[in-house]
Amino acid sequence: MTGLFDHSEGAGAASVVAVAVNAGVWKSFDYLWPAGLGEAVAGLRVQVPFGRGDRTTLGFVVGTARPRGERTLKSVARRLDEEPQLDGPLMELAGWIARYYVSPLGMTLAAMVPAAVGRHEQRSEAVVYLACEPAEVRSVRGPKQRTVLEELHEARRQGIEPLTLEQLRHHSGASAATIRSLAGKGLIRLAARPVTLEQLDGQVEPDPFELNEDQSRALAAIEGALAGGFGVTLLHGVTGSGKTEVYVRAIRRVVEAGGQAILLVPEIALATQTLERLARRLPRVAVLHSGLTGAQRAFHYQQIRDGHASTVIGPRSAVFAPARRLGLIVVDEEHESGYKQDTAPRYHGRDVAIKRASLEGVPVVLGSATPSLESLHNARQGRYKLLTLPRRIRGLPMPVLQLAELRKEIRPGRVELIGRTLEGKMATALDRQEQVILLMNRRGYASYVFCPSCQWRMECDDCTRPMVFHQSTGLVTCHYCQATADLPTACPACGKKLLLFGLGIQRIEGELSRKFPQAVVARMDSDTMTSPKQFRRVFDDFAAGKVDVLLGTQMVAKGLDFPKVTLVGVISADTALTIPDFRASERTFQLIVQVAGRAGRGDRPGEVVVQTWHPTDPAIQFALTHDYEGFAAAELPLREAVGVPPFVRMVRFLVRHARNDRAEAGAAKLAGILRRMIAPMPEVRLVGPMRAGVFKIRKLFRFEILCHCARGGVLQAALDGQMHDLSIQVGAEIVVDADPVSLV
């Protein structure tokens, strides 16, 4: 581990440092370190001129006091930190990520520290104190001014003085000018104080209920783990079994003992009220959602680093939170593929959490109603401790799932998505003023542009994927590169009339308004929503009962807790089955069980209708009875037989180039080199090169090579330090994805 950052001798005079730049390059570069920048320390962020045109680029000092070579060196342009942002364990973690996920060290480090950190001074806010007696308040004439003083008086009575200027304006309705004029008269006093997190007072809401027996048992086991250093606990609790409550109490133990905790959640969960409710139960929480500005993110980061924030809740990147008194990491919904980043560094938030915990000697809890087969396998191998919450809280029944075979459900010749059974149950639920969630399990459920005469299909020129028509914009869009085009008026191949073919989400909206004209339908998918605020608005409206039917993609399956939902409909369970990936069955099973879990969380029992063309598919059959064990028992032997995860680790290489021949030649070259490299490693098997599932994306042709390794990290160890030479020899871009979660 040392050796990565060598703190050798020689501080002082203008020296030479090695810098890992934030770019797709596989080695560090030497720069002059001007004496005026103070002492060079490994881990400092700097700006350096880099590449063509000497663009100012972020970098990290990774080696100091280097010998000066023959070449004239460029100079470090700016030093960005007083002290390195990442200390020991996080630096070590960066080195591990760079090696294991085969990502450039500079890019890895840059992903760990929010860009705006250090760019802003400590923010301050204006606060207002009362500076007069109650008698004086009454003597003030202006009604606005009076209200201001009364508000402040009330605040003093409640012991919450001073109020921030913002709060005071909000409560009193007075303008800033009014408030300033009161200060001018000496009736109130304005002051500035550094901004801190809202909850820094450490107040928490009281526990709303006692843990049940299952929860108490799980908590006791986790508490036991808190004393024992590093260890992984897999908490397998059915939907609605109260896993969150267990996390809250375990985190509180850590905080009460003076430690800090990190809770990783799927991105979409950060847009829900559930999370806010949870945050109110914990003292001094920093929530890192994607709606934060750069400055706010930097601010939270600093609060964590300074130890003011004791709990961090956030998506995968929160695993890098600079908590120096880390005592626990919890990964909720650990099976979520969203924990894997799909750009470099291609790390898996859950697995990095486990690595970090092992480096820092603290426990990790992974929670899910449908644990990934990787985690289950690890538990069975004895590497993780398994805890279960087999029942819903308050003895609520699991929702009842019913299969609706589309072949029999839809009248022949009709283009319909909602079959007879689902329609009937929706009518009943809506009559009873209950709510319905409908899952369309893929984005771009939309319409392909298709010629029924000659079979021509509109494809993206750059990606060779079908383009999809969106009613809202009236344009055709490629979901891989976002390229848009006009809808052709006729088939460019034969001139005949075109058909919009597919199960467009717009089409289902049309069907809903025909069948349930009274129902208020809200739609949630990443095509119509771009900001967390928009998601939040839909969730809030649904929670407030302003919406009857929530229609959406995978997002509606994740961790929502709405007690009035009694019916969940899966429009078609089949689309997830058809993705070209060995995890297709697992995804289908997870999706159905997770979305079914949204039903019947209140007083009334829940029902789920799963529509399908393939009623005998095992993934669907096991999901119908919430039979996770059964699914695992059927799926694992298949995986073992073909030699895919969790029985082996995969490393995927993509070779891409704008020219097909260069990509193909590069892939062949790389495969040759890799074959020689793994010759002495019988535990590594190589498949390929072959065309990637999606052959062309964003104008780049793609070939893939898959390596299956009996043990994790062996291939990466062989690649360590080789990537620079390799990319030169291959002559095309190499993308390495260790433990890929998607094989598109």
Which residues of this chain interact with ligand ADP, rule CB under 6 A? 209, 211-212, 215, 237, 239-245, 393-394, 561
Q: Closer to ligand ADP at the Cβ: 106 or 240?
A: 240
Q: Which does 595 bind (CB under 5 to 8 A by kind): Zn ion, ligand ADP, none?
A: none
Question: Could you say whether residue 476 binds Zn ion (CB under 5 A)?
Answer: no
> Does residue number 255 form part of the binding site for Zn ion (CB under 5 A)?
no
Q: How far is the CB of 559 from ligand ADP (least distance, A)?
A: 6
CB of 648 closer than 8 Å to CB of 642: no
Of 217 and 443, which has the nearer Cβ to Zn ion?
443
The listed partner (Zn ion, ligand ADP, none) that binds 491, CB under 5 to 8 Å by sort, is: Zn ion
Partner interacting with residue 454 (select from Zn ion, ligand ADP, none; CB below 5-8 Å by kind): Zn ion
Structure tokens at 201: 């007072």
Q: How far apart are CA 214 and CA 193, in angstroms?
A: 46
Shortest Å, Cβ 256 to ligand ADP: 20
CB of 654 to Zn ion, least distance (A): 16
Identified binder of Zn ion from the candidate list 1, 191, 454, 642, rule CB under 5 A? 454
524 counts as binding Zn ion under rule CB under 5 A? no
Among Zn ion, ligand ADP, none, the one that 359 touches (CB under a kind-dependent 5 to 8 A) is: none
- Nearer CB in complex with ligand ADP: 235/678: 235
Distances (CA, A) of 352 to 92, 96, 270, 347, 737: 12, 9, 20, 7, 14
Query: Minimum distance from CB of 493 to Zn ion (Å)?
Result: 4
Binding status of residue 490 toward Zn ion by CB under 5 A: no
C-alpha 320/C-alpha 314 separation (Å) is: 10
**Which of Zn ion, ligand ADP, none does 240 bind, CB closer than 5 to 8 A by kind?**
ligand ADP
Query: Strands, E, within 188-310: which ranges?
Result: 188-194, 231-237, 260-264, 285-287
How many angstroms separate the first and last alpha carbons of the chain?
34
Q: Which is nearer to Zn ion, 325 or 698 (CB)?
A: 698
Residues 113, 305: Cα–Cα separation, whole Å = 11
Between 74 and 699, CB nearer to Zn ion: 699
Residues 136, 405, 462, 581: which binds Zn ion (CB under 5 A)?
462
Among 77, 126, 359, 481, binds Zn ion (CB under 5 A): 481
**Residue 483: CB partners within 8 Å, gap ≥ 6?**
460, 461, 462, 463, 467, 477
SS3 127: strand
Q: Which does 623 bind (CB under 5 to 8 A by kind): Zn ion, ligand ADP, none?
A: none
151 with 172: CB under 8 angstroms?
Answer: yes
Q: Are 597 and 399 in contact (CB under 8 A)?
A: yes
Contacted entry of Zn ion, ligand ADP, none for residue 456, CB cut-off 5 to 8 Å set by kind: Zn ion
Nearer to ligand ADP by Cβ, of 240 and 338: the residue is 240
> Are the beta carbons of 620 and 403 closer than 8 angstroms?
yes
481 binds, among Zn ion, ligand ADP, none (CB under 5 to 8 A by kind): Zn ion
In this complex, which beta carbon is closest to ligand ADP, that of residue 509 or of residue 561? 561
- With CB under 5 to 8 Å by kind, the binding choice for 462 among ligand ADP, Zn ion, none is Zn ion
Q: How far is the CB of 215 from ligand ADP (least distance, A)?
A: 6
CB 106 within 8 A of CB 21: yes
The answer to whether residue 493 forms part of the interface with Zn ion (CB under 5 A) is yes
Block residue for tokens 């000697």: 361
Q: How far apart are CA 38 and CA 82, in angstroms?
A: 9
> Residue 460 binds which entry of Zn ion, ligand ADP, none, with Cβ cut-offs from 5 to 8 Å by kind?
Zn ion
Q: What's the closest the beta carbon of residue 168 comes to ligand ADP, in angstroms?
A: 34
Q: Which stretch binds Zn ion (CB under 5 A): 235-243, 494-502, 632-640, 668-676?
A: 494-502
> Residues with Cβ < 8 Å from 157, sequence gap 6 or more?
none
Rounded-to-integer distance, Cα 325 and Cα 305, Å: 9
Around 457, how many Cα atoms within 13 Å sit in the side-chain half-sphere? 12
Sole binder of Zn ion in the list 301, 480, 535, 542 (CB under 5 A)? 480
The minimum distance between CB 533 and ligand ADP, in angstroms, equals 23
Name the DSSP letter for residue 74.
P
CB atoms within 10 A of CB 477: 19
| Distance in angstroms (rounded) separating the CA atoms of residues 601 and 681 | 52
**Stretch of 41-49, 89-97, 458-466, 579-587 contacting Zn ion, by CB under 5 A:** 458-466
Measure the CA–CA gap between 193 and 163, rounded to whole angstroms.
11
User: In this complex, which beta carbon is closest to ligand ADP, that of residue 557 or of residue 700?
Assistant: 557
| Separation CA 185–CA 300 (nearest Å) | 37
Are 343 and 319 contacting, i.e. CB atoms less than 8 angstroms apart?
no
